[in-house]
Amino acid sequence: MDSQPLEEPKGTVLLVDDDEHVLRMHQRTLERAGYAIRTASNGVQAMEKLNAGGIDAILSDLSMPQMDGIMLLRAVREKDLDLPVVLMTGEPRLETAVEAVKLGALRYLFKPVALQSLVREVQYAVRLYQWAKLRRVAHDHLSGDPLLAGDRAGLSARLSSALAGMWMAYQPIISCAKRCVFGYEALMRTREESLPFPGAVLRASERLDRCEDVGRNVRRLVANNLASQPSPATFFVNAHVRDLKDETLYNIDAPLTRHAKNVVIEVTERSALDEVENVGGCVARLRELGYRIAIDDLGAGYSSLTSLAQLQPEVVKLDMSLIRDIHKESIKQKLVASFATLTRDMGIHLIAEGVETADERDALLDLGCDLLQGYLFARPAKTLAPITWPT
């Protein structure tokens, strides 16, 4: 008797729950309904599975160790604005439900979830994401308007709202040896709930070809804040690689140019610098105005050597993925020690960002990193917040 060919799964669902019994019950139910399943017991594991690709929907518990459902939802939205996330909880609270809706959760379900309802919600989520992927294909491959008219108009309105509601938060970068502030990173924030993170705003601006609007708005807001400071401070201002093609960046009369000697322009290493012709010339023009240059997210992007050669930065910032749990991981320690030696020999300031624990701080200091940034010292705030000097 010939065996029947296996049917293609209807989609791939990531189940996230620290309750093993619930996880396996939901897995069996959805597999019987025709879905391929990947599982994780917390948000950290879930992001590892998500980064591997191929996920069509996420079904996650709310209360979990290390990274709960809301934190997971935030991380997902930084990576993908469209991926459907269904949250489940056995202890529903109004404030949590409101937060979930703000961050774009598709559903907020109460445990125990009836299995038929579970299948129905997953079916809807997967189909929704399949539709989103089709739109992306149209965006990438079809001629004419890259987005459907309704989608483009709606996204444009949301981006305009995000720009109107934008404000800047500031997080200090500190020197542990001197126990002083080295500078402040300016971090984009907005009151537009549908684009709640910098990554979401930037991706929307890329899809609409409106990166210049975002960059100009950020520079205007930072300039206003700099003008109001009673004493000079060094501000680190993030720039999208496409900002280097915006002539207003080099305008001698632009609001931020007036403060150029107190500004470090951060170009993320996650960006492809080959989008810009004559990067060296762009950087030279910025330096003529008084700006200094930093490479952000070193170790997380395209080519560290290429970035260093093209930008010749005064400052390099290590991506937080290299910093997390560095006191436990010898490979990270070796990498960071090598970066510290290289930048010191080249006369470049090295900043480790994302420092959250005293153990991470101590490990970094032992490896030769003095300039640190992270929640351990201060969270981003509208004002230049005082430093917490942990013991």
In order of 178, 361, 363, 375, the CA distances from 391 in angstroms are: 15, 10, 14, 14
Model-level pTM?
0.66
Model confidence at 152, pLDDT cuts 50, 70, 90, reads: low
pLDDT for position 359: 95
Place of tokens 């996880």: 23
Model confidence at 188, pLDDT cuts 50, 70, 90, reads: very high
pLDDT for position 291: 97
Q: Is pLDDT above 90 for 204?
A: no
d(CA 251, CA 62): 49
Q: Is 364 left (phi over 0), alpha (psi -120 to 50) or beta?
A: alpha
- Mean pLDDT of the region 167-172: 95
Domains contained in the chain, CATH given: 12-141 (3.40.50.2300), 149-373 (3.20.20.450)
In order of 57, 271, 316, 378, the CA distances from 304 in angstroms are: 33, 11, 10, 28
pLDDT for position 134: 66
Does residue 173 or residue 194 have the better pLDDT? 173
Q: Is pLDDT above 50 for 18?
A: yes
Model confidence at 258, pLDDT cuts 50, 70, 90, reads: very high
Euclidean distance between the first and the last CA atom of the chain, given in angstroms as a whole number: 73
Q: Is pLDDT above 80 for 149?
A: no
pLDDT tens across 60-84, in order?
999 888 888 889 988 887 777 778 9
pLDDT for position 143: 38
Torsion over CA of 297, 299, 302 and 308, rounded to 10 degrees?
Answer: 80
β strands within the chain, DSSP E: 12-16, 36-40, 57-61, 85-89, 107-110, 166-175, 180-190, 235-239, 263-268, 292-298, 315-318, 349-353, 371-373
Q: Indicate the burial class of 39 (C-beta count within 10 angstroms; 0-12, 13-18, 19 or more).
A: middle
Q: Is pLDDT above 60 for 148?
A: no
pLDDT for position 136: 58
pLDDT for position 74: 85
Q: Indicate the burial class of 199 (C-beta count within 10 angstroms; 0-12, 13-18, 19 or more).
A: middle
**What percentage of the chain reaches a pLDDT higher than 70?**
89
- Mean pLDDT of the region 234-263: 94
pLDDT for position 146: 41
Does residue 307 or residue 346 have the better pLDDT? 346
pLDDT tens across 290-331, in order?
999 998 877 654 444 556 777 889 999 988 888 989 999 998
pLDDT tens across 122-136, in order?
998 898 888 777 655
Q: Indicate the burial class of 98 (C-beta count within 10 angstroms; 0-12, 13-18, 19 or more).
A: exposed
Q: Is pLDDT above 50 for 228?
A: yes
Q: Specify the DSSP class assigned to residue 268.
A: E
pLDDT for position 81: 75
Pairing of strands 166-175, 371-373: antiparallel
Q: Is the peptide bond before 112 cis (omega within 30 degrees of 0)?
A: yes
The alpha carbon dihedral of 122, 123, 124, 129 has a sign of: positive
